[in-house]
Amino acid sequence: MLLANKITPIVTLYHWDLPQVLEEKYGGWQNASMANYFSEFANLCFERFGNRVKYWITFNNPWSVAVEGYETGEHAPGLKMGGTGAYNAAHNILKAHAKVWHTYDAQWRNKQKGMVGISLSADWGEPVDVTNQRDIEAAERYVQFYLGWFATPLFNGDYPQIMKDYVARKSAQQGLSSSRLPTFSPHEKSYMRSTCDFMGISHFTTRYITQKNFPSNRGNSYFTDRDLAELVDPRWPDPGSEWLYSVPWGFRRLLNFVKTQYGDPMIYVTGNGVSEKMICTDLCDDWRMQYFRDYINEMLKAVKDGVNVKGYTAWSLIDKFEWDEGYSERFGMYYVDFGSKNKPRYPKASVPYYKRIISSNGFPNEGEIESWKRKALETCTSSNQLLAADPLISHMEMVTEIVVPTVCTLCILLSAVFLMFLLRTQI
Ligand SMILES: CCCCCCCCCCCCC/C=C/[C@@H](O)[C@@H](N)CO[C@@H]1O[C@H](CO)[C@H](O)[C@H](O)[C@H]1O
């Protein structure tokens, strides 16, 4: 259906949807065997859909899978294996990605002419004090522990040296005989290197970074291994998710970092967007239009810098399930009324605005952009009226689905009682 509507599918094989049996029976991504199971699954997808799908993403945001699944425990499987679980999970995910890439390269590429990449989430880290060498190094560590953790093995064959050094030193200080960061064998490094035909980048926000030493007796933690502190500027807009601040200039710096660090790879922006709080039913999401305008503009500057950005996808089309936040954070350009039976969707103002940006493939000029914004905000008032009517619609649904059947049942019961009363008086 996508192809019939001239939409090019980019398929993500793993967006955190681990079958429960693999978690319970094998320990999920703590088990190295997962690479084999995942590769078999990917191979089946290549076989069944490879004639129509030419862009494959093995994993979406493995950082969240590892850190939020096995360090903080905010996401499934909700384990808090401080300073070890996340590293083990990431190690197995990296090996699984490499196995899938080699499978495609050996068995399918010649026939299907597609590409296999990965989608890495990456915040940008900026030194609090750009004249302070310790802050500069801390900011570099922030990005290496975030993006470099996965990108460096897949493009260069091993973990970032700074990451290996810091985790090894912390592990030794804690009296461990070996580093909590697993190691790749020489064969694994060679097998891992250059296994991305493109790099997917999901980027949402930026942090100021400063050096902060965490004593090793504070316990094991991915976060304290980095010896840094994350800061935000309270003036940065943050309309939705508590972690998401709009800092557009960080996007350009991140994209240029990718270009220089990983040999100028082909980049697809696989996620970029902003949320609002659930209580917000306002379809006039001017904050989202501003976010898209500013971030896309920074991306276009990066393209002019020479960064090889081949595509951009906004996050996200519709309001949807946001993991541990449930439906309380809305990222969509379409508002979804989750309270109604058919989950009706209503376009927010960002829909016509984003349509104009992508159909123009950028920004013609300031005046044009402002007129797009004005027209977009005009449309949302009518959508708002429709949404306002929606309680009435859902009320009518309730009437037809609950009140009417209840009244009919009561009438039948009362008629039966009345009939029984009549019969008794006749006897
Ligand atoms: C000693 C210091 C301790 C510090 C402890 C800090 C704990 C932080 C916990 C992690 C918070 C991460 C929040 C941000 C994550 C984003 O990068 C991530 N959400 C991006 O992933 C994509 O986000 C999309 C929109 O939210 C969507 O969820 C998509 O599926 C994700 O891939």
Range 343-349 average pLDDT: 94
Token representation of residue 360? 């123009």
- Give the alpha-carbon dihedral of 419, 425, 426, 427, to 10 degrees: 110
pLDDT digits (tens, 9 = 90+) for 28-72: 999 999 999 999 999 999 999 999 999 999 999 999 999 999 999
**Close Cβ partners of 24 (under 8 Å, ≥ 6 residues apart):** none
Q: Is residue 252 included in any domain, yes or no?
A: no
3-state secondary structure of 157: coil
Residue 331 Cβ contacting ligand 1 at under 6 Å: yes
Residue 12 Cβ contacting ligand 1 at under 6 Å: no
Closest CA to ligand 1's atom 19: 64
Instruction: Round to whole Å and give the CA distance between 74 and 76.
Output: 7
Query: What's the chain's average pLDDT?
Result: 93
Q: How many domains does the chain have?
A: 1
Percent of the chain scoring above 70 in pLDDT: 94
Q: Is residue 262 included in any domain, yes or no?
A: no
Distance of CA 83 to the CA centre of its chain: 23
Cis, peptide link before residue 316, omega less than 30° from 0: yes
pLDDT digits (tens, 9 = 90+) for 117-165: 999 999 999 999 999 999 999 999 999 999 999 999 999 999 999 999 9
Closest CA to ligand 1's atom 27: 322
Closest CA to ligand 1's atom 32: 61
What is the distance in A from the centroid of ligand 1 to the CA of 226?
A: 16
Instruction: Round to whole Å and give the CA distance between 287 and 264.
Output: 32
pLDDT higher than 80, residue 26: yes
CATH number of the domain within which 197 lies: 3.20.20.80
Instruction: Round to whole Å and give the CA distance between 353 and 378.
Output: 11
Range 304-332 average pLDDT: 95
pLDDT digits (tens, 9 = 90+) for 243-277: 999 999 999 999 999 999 999 999 999 999 999 96
Range 85-94 average pLDDT: 98
Q: Is residue 385 included in any domain, yes or no?
A: no
3-state secondary structure of 423: helix
Q: Is residue 268 included in any domain, yes or no?
A: no
Residue 315 Cβ contacting ligand 1 at under 6 Å: yes
Closest CA to ligand 1's atom 10: 68
What is the distance in A from the centroid of ligand 1 to the CA of 200?
A: 17
Q: Which of 217, 243, 327 to mutate to test the pocket of ligand 1 (most atoms within 8 A of CB)?
A: 243
Q: Is residue 303 included in any domain, yes or no?
A: no
Please give the model's pTM, rounded to 2 decimal places: 0.90
pLDDT score for 388: 72
119, containing H or E segment: strand 115-121
pLDDT higher than 70, residue 401: no
What is the distance in A from the centroid of ligand 1 to the CA of 216?
A: 25
Q: Is residue 103 included in any domain, yes or no?
A: yes
What is the distance in A from the centroid of ligand 1 to the CA of 64?
A: 6
Percent of the chain scoring above 90 in pLDDT: 83
Residue 243 Cβ contacting ligand 1 at under 6 Å: yes
**Close Cβ partners of 312 (under 8 Å, ≥ 6 residues apart):** 268, 269, 272, 296, 299
Residue 152 Cβ contacting ligand 1 at under 6 Å: no
Half-sphere exposure of 229 (CA within 13 A, CB side): 9
What is the distance in A from the centroid of ligand 1 to the CA of 65?
A: 10
Q: Is residue 205 included in any domain, yes or no?
A: yes
126, containing H or E segment: strand 124-127
**105: amino acid identity, one letter:** D
pLDDT digits (tens, 9 = 90+) for 200-211: 999 999 999 999
Which of 355 and 418 is assigned the larger pLDDT? 355
pLDDT score for 397: 47
Range 234-244 average pLDDT: 94
pLDDT band at 406 (very low <50, low <70, confident <90, very high): low
Range 211-221 average pLDDT: 90
pLDDT higher than 90, residue 364: no
Report the atom number in ligand 1 closest to the C-alpha of 244: 14
**406: amino acid identity, one letter:** T
pLDDT higher than 70, residue 392: no
Nearest-CA neighbor of 117 among 202, 4, 5, 19?
202
Give me the domain span that covers residue 121: 3-231
What is the distance in A from the centroid of ligand 1 to the CA of 74?
A: 10
Q: Using alpha carbons only, what angle is made at residue 269 by residues 236 and 75, rounded to the nearest 5 degrees?
A: 70
Report the atom number in ligand 1 closest to the C-alpha of 214: 1
Q: Is residue 11 included in any domain, yes or no?
A: yes
**Residue whose pair of structure tokens reads 């978690």 in the numeric block:** 23
Nearest-CA neighbor of 29 among 72, 61, 74, 62?
62
